Amino acid sequence: MTDKVKTGRLLIVDDNEDLLKAAKIFLKRHFSQVDLEKNPEAIPILLNNESYDVILLDMNFTKDVSSGKEGYYWLEKILEIDPSAVVVLITAYGDVQMAVKAIKAGATDFVLKPWENEKLLATIYSAMRLRESRIEVETLKTKQKVINLKINDRYNDIIGQSPAIQKVFETIDRVAATDANVLILGENGTGKELVARAIHNNSTRKAQVFVNVDLGSVSETLFESELFGHKKGSFTDAKEDRPGRFEIANKGTLFLDEIGNLSMPLQAKLLTVLQHRRVSRVGSNKETEIDIRLVCATNMPLYDMVKENRFRQDLLYRINTIEIELPPLRDRLEDIPLLTDHFLNYYAKKYNKEVIKISEAAMVRLQKHNWPGNIREVQHSVERAVIMSNSQILQPEDFNFNSQQQNSSDAENLMLDQYKLEDVEKILIRKVLKKYNGNITQAASELGLTRSSLYRRLEKYGL
């Protein structure tokens, strides 16, 4: 017969050294960790460095022999540090009134010393079960908050039948069932979060939580608190203990969007957590192991940023076991009818409009548009057209394309005939660079050039 595996971490605080030794000799046979402390002043340090399942706390120390006031004081301090702590008070001067007061103050139970070993053991096991229940309830509450925030998401599917999007589906099918880290690359509005959700929903973690963090909106000062959590009082606004996104996502999927926006110091902190798979809350030295599936996304050229020393190469290797590059909408224009029909049906119902279709002329116009905002731009264009139109069939004029941009483009095109081929090339390169805010990789891709070829032309034309 095999021995029962010992679990449970206990802390016993009492100024009686003989009692502490006797308690440890007995309890270490039943629990994996039994820590002893004579001085209650050490309690805050101990709790910030360790998480105990049960704390046995003497009610009366040498300063206050029999009233129990010291015990109540330290009980309050313990619950301030860890509201989910389970504390069993012990005293040689207990009575019914003191027991009731202790329970009302937040204690779990009350035992008299000298205690009976078997009764003490039963009390501790009962307290451990309560601790497990509290942690489980707190975790479920936190995860439910995240789920509730996401439950009303309007679109859960990636829409498209084009060869470009079919390649994305194939990659998702291959990687979803694994726990490999995935990096999703693509322009704004191409559906990176939808792909991340699809990976999660087709993974072995689909029954667990999906946590989304927009790193572009997390300030430098709040980065550690947001991702790793914090202890109450660790900074001015830390009014309660709070788990970070890593802890919330435990057993599930953590989606770090806009990872290219992280500064180098924050990249280093993130890399450390990903390497060790442990986090420490701000204000605590205690580490918590995490088990997550990591999916990251960005619209920034990470490989160029590595060469420019703006993104850590070791972090890039850590997050891109598998890469998925989402095509821009201009490379899958055949999906425009499916997308517009989807958004048309949704917004017609939402705004109680009797719009039933998009005219052929409008569809031709939609498919000729460049869609710099990708799917998000399609969504907003259809929403506006549904709201503003008084007809059941949407026409080209119902869509608010940027006429100023179009006029500017037409005027520039009319000027091209006046220039030599080199002048035309120079104007075209300048135009494409402006479109992509100077991003060499994206500009070279649209121009059909390699990055080195584009760099040579930039040098040639002094751009």
Structure confidence at residue 67 (pLDDT): 62
Mean pLDDT is lowest, of 111-120, 200-209, 364-373, 386-395, for 111-120
If pLDDT is split at 50, 70 and 90, which confidence band does 151 have?
very low
Structure confidence at residue 411 (pLDDT): 41
Q: Are residues 168 and 191 in the same domain?
A: yes
The reply to whether 142 falls in a domain is no
Instruction: Report pLDDT digits (tens) over 6-25.
Output: 788 999 998 888 888 888 99
287: helix, strand or coil:
strand
* Helix, strand, coil percentages, rounded to 5, for the chain: 50, 15, 35
Instruction: Report pLDDT digits (tens) over 328-356.
Output: 999 999 999 999 999 999 999 999 998 88
Mean pLDDT is lowest, of 174-183, 203-212, 279-288, 393-402, for 393-402
Q: Are residues 390 and 428 in the same domain?
A: no
Q: Are residues 13 and 108 in the same domain?
A: yes
The reply to whether 146 falls in a domain is no
What mean pLDDT is predicted for residues 346-370? Answer: 90
Give the start-end residues of each E strand in 159-314. Answer: 182-185, 210-214, 229-230, 242-243, 253-257, 278-280, 287-289, 293-298
Structure confidence at residue 380 (pLDDT): 93
What mean pLDDT is predicted for residues 236-245? Answer: 84
For residue 155, pLDDT beyond 80: no
If pLDDT is split at 50, 70 and 90, which confidence band does 402 have?
low
CATH number for the domain spanning 58: value is 3.40.50.2300
Q: Are residues 200 and 302 in the same domain?
A: yes
Instruction: Report pLDDT digits (tens) over 33-53.
Output: 999 998 899 999 898 888 899
What mean pLDDT is predicted for residues 171-187? Answer: 94
Percent of the chain with pLDDT over 70: 87
Structure confidence at residue 182 (pLDDT): 97
Q: How far apart are the C-alpha atoms of 346 and 3, rounded to whole Å?
A: 61
The reply to whether 140 falls in a domain is no
Structure confidence at residue 142 (pLDDT): 65
Q: How far apart are the C-alpha atoms of 119 and 117, rounded to whole Å?
A: 5
The reply to whether 153 falls in a domain is no
Q: Are residues 193 and 95 in the same domain?
A: no
Q: Are residues 223 and 339 in the same domain?
A: no
The reply to whether 373 falls in a domain is yes
Among 401, 417, 435, residue at a domain's last position: 401
CATH number for the domain spanning 349: value is 1.10.8.60
- Stronger pLDDT, 111 or 277, i.e. the higher one: 277
Q: How far apart are the C-alpha atoms of 213 and 226, rounded to whole Å?
A: 9
What mean pLDDT is predicted for residues 162-169? Answer: 91
Structure confidence at residue 6 (pLDDT): 75
219: helix, strand or coil:
coil
Q: How far apart are the C-alpha atoms of 18 and 70, rounded to whole Å?
A: 20
Q: Are residues 168 and 128 in the same domain?
A: no
CATH number for the domain spanning 241: value is 3.40.50.300
Instruction: Report pLDDT digits (tens) over 304-315.
Output: 999 999 999 999
- Stronger pLDDT, 450 or 131, i.e. the higher one: 131
**Contact assessment for residue 261 and residue 224, using Cβ atoms and an 8 Å cutoff:** no
Structure confidence at residue 422 (pLDDT): 59
Among 325, 340, 371, residue at a domain's last position: 325
CATH number for the domain spanning 448: value is 1.10.10.60
Task: Compute how many other C-beta atoms are within 10 angstroms of the C-beta atom of residue 426.
Answer: 18
Q: Are residues 351 and 449 in the same domain?
A: no
DSSP string, 61-76: -TTSSSS-HHHHHHHH
Q: Are residues 244 and 126 in the same domain?
A: no
The reply to whether 3 falls in a domain is no
Structural domain count of the chain:
4
Joined together, the tokens standing for residue 340 give 């517009």
- Stronger pLDDT, 327 or 403, i.e. the higher one: 327
For residue 324, pLDDT beyond 90: yes
Mean pLDDT is lowest, of 6-20, 129-143, 203-217, 283-297, for 129-143
The reply to whether 255 falls in a domain is yes
Instruction: Please compute Rg for the chain using Cα positions.
Output: 31
Structure confidence at residue 316 (pLDDT): 97
For residue 149, pLDDT beyond 50: no
Instruction: Report pLDDT digits (tens) over 64-123.
Output: 555 667 788 888 888 888 888 899 988 776 566 776 777 888 888 888 778 888 889 999
Structure confidence at residue 404 (pLDDT): 38
Tell me which residue range forms the domain holding 78: 9-134
Structure confidence at residue 153 (pLDDT): 44
Percent of the chain with pLDDT over 90: 45
Our measurement of the distance from residue 410's CA atom to the centroid of its chain's CA atoms, rounded to an integer in Å, reads 44
pTM of the model: 0.62
The reply to whether 264 falls in a domain is yes
The whole-chain average pLDDT of the chain stands at 84
If pLDDT is split at 50, 70 and 90, which confidence band does 5 have?
low
Instruction: Report pLDDT digits (tens) over 404-424.
Output: 344 444 444 444 444 455 566
Max mean pLDDT among 64-68, 198-202, 444-448 falls in 198-202
Q: Are residues 439 and 294 in the same domain?
A: no
Q: Are residues 176 and 315 in the same domain?
A: yes
Structure confidence at residue 271 (pLDDT): 96
